[in-house]
Structure 1
Amino acid sequence: MKKNMGSTDKIIRLIIAAVLVVLYFTGTLTGTLGIIALVVAAIFTLTSLVSFCPLYTLLGIKTCKVKTA
């Protein structure tokens, strides 16, 4: 897996994941929507930690800086 996420993208995903988790545990998001929010939060957190998004690969998107040697 090659890195395809930049630091700004990772920070935004972590913030969104944190907001979704807070909304779930405060009772704002409940039921099926709450479960979906937790799954999305988990996926955002995981992809942020590994700096790789499979969807970006399919779409040809790369938000990380290219190293020039």
Structure 2
Amino acid sequence: MKANVGGIDRILRIVLGAALVLWAAVLGGPVWAWIGIVPLATGLIKFCPLYPLLGLSTNK
């Protein structure tokens, strides 16, 4: 897996993902908020499996 998530994209994924997971886990948010695991994980590992399919990369 070649890194394809970089810079601001990575920061936004981590912040948004963490916020959604915290909302679901700590504040009793809706079940759908657990989807935050996806952007959190893709931000942490710097790879989004959807990007190659779309021919995208934000990593320089």
**Identity across matched positions, percent:** 41
Distance in 2 of aligned mates of 1:9 and 1:48: 8
Of 46, 49, 59 in structure 1, the residue corresponding to residue 44 of structure 2 is 49
1:3-52: CA deviations, max 9, x gaps?
1111211100011012212322212x23xxx2x321x2111121112111
User: Would you say how many aligned residue pairs link Structure 1 and Structure 2?
Assistant: 59
5+ residue gaps in structure 1?
none
Structure 1 residue runs of 4 or more that deviate by more than 4 Å after TM superposition: none
Is 1:37 the counterpart of 2:30? The answer is no
5+ residue gaps in structure 2?
none
Query: RMSD of the alignment, in Å?
Result: 1.3
